[in-house]
Amino acid sequence: MGPSSPAARKLEILHAIVKAYIENGEPVASRSVSRARKDNLSPASIRNVMADLCDEGYLSQPHTSAGRVPTEKAFHSYIKSLLNTNRLLTAELSRVRAELSRADTMEERVEKTSHILTEMTKGVGIAAAIPTVGHQLDQIELLSLGERQVLMIVVTKDRTVRQKVVSLDEPIRQTELESIRNYVNGSFGGWLLADVQAELNRRLQQESAACDEILSKLTLLNDKGLLDIGMHPEIHLDGASNLVGADLHLNREKMRELFRALEQKKRLLQLLDRFLDRGQSELAVQVGLGDAHPSMGELSLIGLTVELPSGMCAKVAVLGPTRMDYSRVLSAVLNVGQALQSSAD
């Protein structure tokens, strides 16, 4: 299909209409499209093309306006053309990688990711770390906070850190805690936490465990959930206030409903799971989220899923008005997703 073929010209006109609508938010007339083109195609010829695009479901005519408005189908065609030409900016990617590398844990990186996405796009940045098959143990640390209180710290291979303070029924010395730490780290470093727990339970149930000083004391900590570190999805959202100035045609009550929906982490996770089901590093775009929530009809979601070490995956996304700068958002999501994956290696 050559660049001057009727099919190519039709796509050029369609994408010009989408860009004009994104910029102005008004129905696009054939005369304005004609003026913007360099091939002197007449308004009458463009009207014929627009009529065909209407018949094919790419454009709609609101009320009696002479202009046309792009449909979701038109937005998807426009976004697809951007995906084919979008290139990562090396300098920007390096900057994002450097910023994420300053975070010590995966949790901190995910939280920072939502801030970076918001900063780069002026939209709503969303980032989530979601457990999949499990975490590998890197090491534990045990610190005495008194005769009967212990701070238990568990670090996984992806540098996720969980800690909690527990109270024991009998005293335990720091030297005993150090022996337990060395035993667990030496025996189970690199194991999946579920496998560590299963093997510990097996060893602690043996008759010889009662006679082993380390295992006897380890039983106290195991009963308090030493490795039950509660790996739940971590989700962060930043920049919701950016939607206030967006032209979403929402009344005050609908806007309140939208913000209430964005405050519910469970709903956000469902949104990400529903629309970001593509393969690793493959961008997913959903134009119009009305099926997810009535107040989200004029919002779009652009994101991807990133595989992380030790049974984790991350979902990074930008939520914004349908009339967003798609080229900018696509680049930002690709950059940040790639940087997050690199920082975890």
CATH of domain 137-223: 3.30.390
- Environment class of residue 131 by beta-carbon count within 10 Å: exposed (0-12), middle (13-18) or buried (19+)? middle
**d(C-alpha 109, C-alpha 156), whole Å:** 15
Cα–Cα distance for residue pair 282/213, rounded to 1 Å: 52
CATH code of the domain occupying 6-84: 1.10.10.10
CA 252-253-259 angle, to 5 degrees, is 90
Rounded CA separation 238/253 (Å): 22
CA distance 298 to 248: 6
CATH level 2 (architecture), domain 87-132+231-344? 2-Layer Sandwich (3.30)
In contact, 167 and 148? CB cutoff 8 Å: yes
Domain positions in the chain are: 6-84, 87-132+231-344, 137-223
- The whole-angstrom separation of Cα 32 and Cα 28 is 7
- DSSP state letters, 44-109: HHHHHHHHHHHHTTSEE--TT-SSBEE-HHHHHHHHHHHHHH----HHHHHHHHHHHHT-SSHHHH
Tens place of pLDDT per residue across the chain (345 aa): 445 688 888 999 999 999 999 998 889 998 888 888 877 788 888 989 999 999 999 999 887 667 899 999 999 999 988 877 656 567 778 888 899 988 887 778 889 999 999 999 999 999 998 876 667 889 999 999 987 899 999 988 877 788 889 999 888 999 999 999 999 999 999 998 888 888 998 888 887 777 788 888 898 898 888 887 666 788 999 999 999 878 788 888 999 999 999 998 888 888 888 887 655 567 888 998 988 888 999 999 999 998 876 567 889 999 999 999 998 999 899 889 888 888 766
